């Protein structure tokens, strides 16, 4: 992808994850929803960015929802996604306050998705595992998988395409038969352990080690 974006620094990434955790814990304690305007944040948090917040509990997914497109300021996208991941993901019951000591928070800041304008047969060779996330659309159906999903589940390019189709509720070969395919990149910051040190995840290196 040729899009030039300003990446978050390590310190900004820590603030992003901290904001996501604070949003969930504040809501659990008080029932109030914060939006990031209550605290002083670096200027990049006012820039429009796509974001996903992922919650895991003892290595298992506990919630993951976000804004695929840069439709709001980063701070608003983080706080809204955190509330959604914690309390609105239809796959899971709402997070309880006693769970937060066992939940790891991860924030993925996205680049703007771009249409992969190549013939279907060339799609697999156009995808870089560990770098690209995918969105697949057909009619009103849409599925998204973050860049970290493929290497963490040892998927190759075809499997990644097929699983994104399934996420959209489509047949696994819909990417061959006319569905629109978009790719994006993500900068991932995650707690090493629940409420622990925040680091930037290098999924590209992880993918290369498996090749």
For residue 211, give every residue at least 6 positions away whose Cβ sits within 8 Å of its Cβ, in sequence order, or none. none
pTM of the predicted protein model: 0.88
Confidence label for 4 from pLDDT (cuts 50, 70 and 90): low
112, 69 in Cβ contact below 8 A? yes
The domains located in the chain, with CATH, are: 10-111+186-201 (3.30.700.20), 114-184 (3.30.1490.150)
pLDDT tens readout for residues 30-80: 999 999 988 899 999 999 999 999 999 999 999 999 999 999 999 999 999
Confidence label for 1 from pLDDT (cuts 50, 70 and 90): very low
Q: Tell me the C-alpha distance between 156 and 127, whole Å.
A: 10
Backbone angles phi, psi at 27, to 5 degrees: -65, -40
Percent of the chain surpassing pLDDT 90: 89
Q: Tell me the C-alpha distance between 178 and 142, whole Å.
A: 13
């Amino acid at each position: 992808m040729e899009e030039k974006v300003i990446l978050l620094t390590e310190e900004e990434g820590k603030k992003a994850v901290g904001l996501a955790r604070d949003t969930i814990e504040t809501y659990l304690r008080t029932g109030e929803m914060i939006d990031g305007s209550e605290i002083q944040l670096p200027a990049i948090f006012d820039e429009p960015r796509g974001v996903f917040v992922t919650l895991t509990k003892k290595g298992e997914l506990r919630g993951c929802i976000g804004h695929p497109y840069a439709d709001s300021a980063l701070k608003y996208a983080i706080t809204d996604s955190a509330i959604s991941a914690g309390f609105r993901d239809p796959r899971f019951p709402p997070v309880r306050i006693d769970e937060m000591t066992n939940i790891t928070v991860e924030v993925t800041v996205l680049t703007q998705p771009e249409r992969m304008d190549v013939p279907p047969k060339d799609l697999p060779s156009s995808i870089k595992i560990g770098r690209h996330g995918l969105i697949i659309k057909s009619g009103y159906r849409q599925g998204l998988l973050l860049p970290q999903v493929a290497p963490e589940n040892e998927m190759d390019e075809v499997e990644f395409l097929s699983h994104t189709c399934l996420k959209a509720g489509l047949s696994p070969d819909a990417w061959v038969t006319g569905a629109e395919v978009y790719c994006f990149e993500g900068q991932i910051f995650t707690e090493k352990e629940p409420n622990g040190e925040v680091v930037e995840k290098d999924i590209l290196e992880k993918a290369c080690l498996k090749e």
